[in-house]
Copies of this chain bind each other. A is one copy, B any other.
Amino acid sequence: MRQSQLFTKTSKENPSGEVSLNAQLLIKAGFVDKEMAGVYSYLPLGLRVLDKIKNIVRDEMNKLGGQEILMPALHPKENYEKTERWNSIDILFKLDGTGGKEYALGATHEEIVTPLVKKFASSYKDLPVYVYQIQDKFRNEPRAKSGLLRGREFSMKDLYSFHKSQEGLDEFYEKSKETYFNIYKRCGLGDLTHIVFASGGMFSKYSHEFQTVTEFGEDIIYVCEKCGVGVNKEIISEQKVCPECGGEKLKEEKAIEVGNIFKLKTKFTDAFDYKYIDEKGQKQQVFMGCYGIGPSRVLGTVVEVHHDEKGMIWPEEIAPFQIHLISLGDEGKVEAEKIYDKLIEKGVEVLWDDRDMQAGAKFADCDLIGIPKRIVVSKKTLEKNSVEVKMRNSDEVKFVEIDKI
């Protein structure tokens, strides 16, 4: 894409009233626009990143055997009466429709997916079923000051699994952990993300969260120095022992929750009287799990952990473009156009800064936007029949002959 065509612009000033670092950088670079607290628009650069994260999540969910569906955001009140959650989910947005109808805006989809899967999977032959969606959720958050980390409207991948037995659920739950780590690795959060024991609510001893360690995190976790598994402060007992390996050296860290998995067991299937018929013709309980990850929250977290004083530093696989091509002066522009066309033809994602601006301003924008590789074409580089190549995460500059790009 030619940067002169991009309708957004970078800004030098910090956006007013925005205290979170991720939103500050994303707004300054023109990736997102703030509509109001906790509600953002994704602009072309930000949407490219968000879509890449969604596609990584989609790819890994498909590998896990998930079938993609898309459920609505408007939920009927009746379903929440069955699960007794109409009044107990405190962040649920509620609204009135015509004819005295009451709706909730989906903050989670157990109330929708359970009766949906019940319609189709009634025999032992039909189970297990794994369905997921990537869809926007709504939460009436009292405080929404963390940019993309805590939104009133935010994108979410939620997978739900339905099993014939507790063992089937346990097995799939373990398998999903690997999938989650694959996602974080591909999004550039692999090294910093720990699996963490958290509260299991009323029906399990534990659930698990995935927490990315960063000084800007809102959560406190204790990471076992022996096995790397963490424990959320909310559930750690006084003796502070790792529930995974019994290790006794736990390090306190601040972290951002970037995913969670939960054994719901039969709480929702029972509420909707969802049973399956076994090999002997007997009705049996259906065991359920849920597996969440928020692509917009992952995006915000990546910014929190991958930036420097100049701007963002995108991991390769989720960068809005792979190459930021910068042409300086008229000579640079002529040659850059040829390079641009060649790269586009080869399917490389290039943002070409073809604007008539000073080198300093272009470099500053480039560092702020944070595309992994910078290629500069100028009178100076052309004298060497070369371009100048620099990675965003390194200071090393090297010259590469034009034919060898």
A residues neighboring B (CB under 8 Å): 5-9, 30, 33, 35-36, 39-44, 47, 50, 67-76, 93-95, 97-99, 101, 105, 112, 116-117, 119-121, 126, 129, 131, 136, 138, 140-142, 152-153
B68 adjacent to A44 (CB under 8 Å) = yes
Q: Report how far A74 CA is from B37 CA in the complex, Å.
A: 11
| Neighbouring B residues of A142 by C-beta, 8 Å | 98-99
A74 adjacent to B153 (CB under 8 Å) = yes
- A-B contacts, 24 of them at CB < 8 A, read A7-B129, A8-B120, A33-B116, A33-B119, A35-B71, A35-B72, A35-B74, A35-B75, A35-B112, A36-B76, A41-B69, A41-B71, A41-B112, A41-B116, A42-B70, A43-B69, A47-B70, A73-B153, A74-B152, A94-B95, A95-B95, A97-B140, A97-B152, A98-B141
| Neighbouring B residues of A35 by C-beta, 8 Å | 71-72, 74-76, 112
| Neighbouring B residues of A121 by C-beta, 8 Å | 7
| Neighbouring B residues of A101 by C-beta, 8 Å | 36
Nearest Cβ on chain B to A297's Cβ, whole angstroms? 15
Name which of A9, A41, A99, A136 has the most chain B CB atoms within 10 A of its CB. A41
| Neighbouring B residues of A94 by C-beta, 8 Å | 95
Nearest Cβ on chain B to A214's Cβ, whole angstroms? 26
B153 adjacent to A72 (CB under 8 Å) = yes
**20 additional A-B residue pairs with CB within 8 Å, beyond A7-B117, A41-B71, A99-B142:** A5-B67, A6-B67, A7-B120, A7-B121, A7-B126, A30-B120, A35-B71, A35-B74, A36-B76, A36-B101, A39-B72, A39-B74, A44-B69, A50-B70, A72-B153, A73-B136, A74-B138, A74-B152, A93-B97, A98-B140
- CB-nearest residue of chain B relative to A135? B136
* Identical chains in the assembly: 2
Q: Report how far A117 CA is from B7 CA in the complex, Å.
A: 8
Q: Report how far A119 CA is from B97 CA in the complex, Å.
A: 34
- CB-nearest residue of chain B relative to A136? B73
Nearest Cβ on chain B to A50's Cβ, whole angstroms? 7
| Neighbouring B residues of A74 by C-beta, 8 Å | 35-36, 39, 138, 152-153
- CB-nearest residue of chain B relative to A128? B7
Q: Report how far A184 CA is from B401 CA in the complex, Å.
A: 47
Q: Report how far A35 CA is from B112 CA in the complex, Å.
A: 8
Nearest Cβ on chain B to A52's Cβ, whole angstroms? 13
Nearest Cβ on chain B to A283's Cβ, whole angstroms? 19
| Neighbouring B residues of A105 by C-beta, 8 Å | 95, 105
Nearest Cβ on chain B to A21's Cβ, whole angstroms? 21
Those 8 A-B pairs whose CB atoms lie nearest each other, nearest first:
A42-B70, A95-B95, A41-B71, A7-B129, A39-B72, A98-B142, A74-B153, A72-B153
- CB-nearest residue of chain B relative to A69? B43
Q: Report how far A195 CA is from B71 CA in the complex, Å.
A: 33
- CB-nearest residue of chain B relative to A41? B71
| Neighbouring B residues of A131 by C-beta, 8 Å | 7
A68 adjacent to B39 (CB under 8 Å) = no
| Neighbouring B residues of A126 by C-beta, 8 Å | 7
| Neighbouring B residues of A117 by C-beta, 8 Å | 7
Nearest Cβ on chain B to A105's Cβ, whole angstroms? 7
| Neighbouring B residues of A112 by C-beta, 8 Å | 35, 41
| Neighbouring B residues of A72 by C-beta, 8 Å | 35, 39-41, 153
- CB-nearest residue of chain B relative to A129? B7
| Neighbouring B residues of A36 by C-beta, 8 Å | 74, 76, 101
Q: Report how far A116 CA is from B105 CA in the complex, Å.
A: 25
Nearest Cβ on chain B to A76's Cβ, whole angstroms? 5
| Neighbouring B residues of A43 by C-beta, 8 Å | 69
- CB-nearest residue of chain B relative to A155? B70
Q: Report how far A8 CA is from B67 CA in the complex, Å.
A: 10
Q: Report how far A33 CA is from B50 CA in the complex, Å.
A: 28
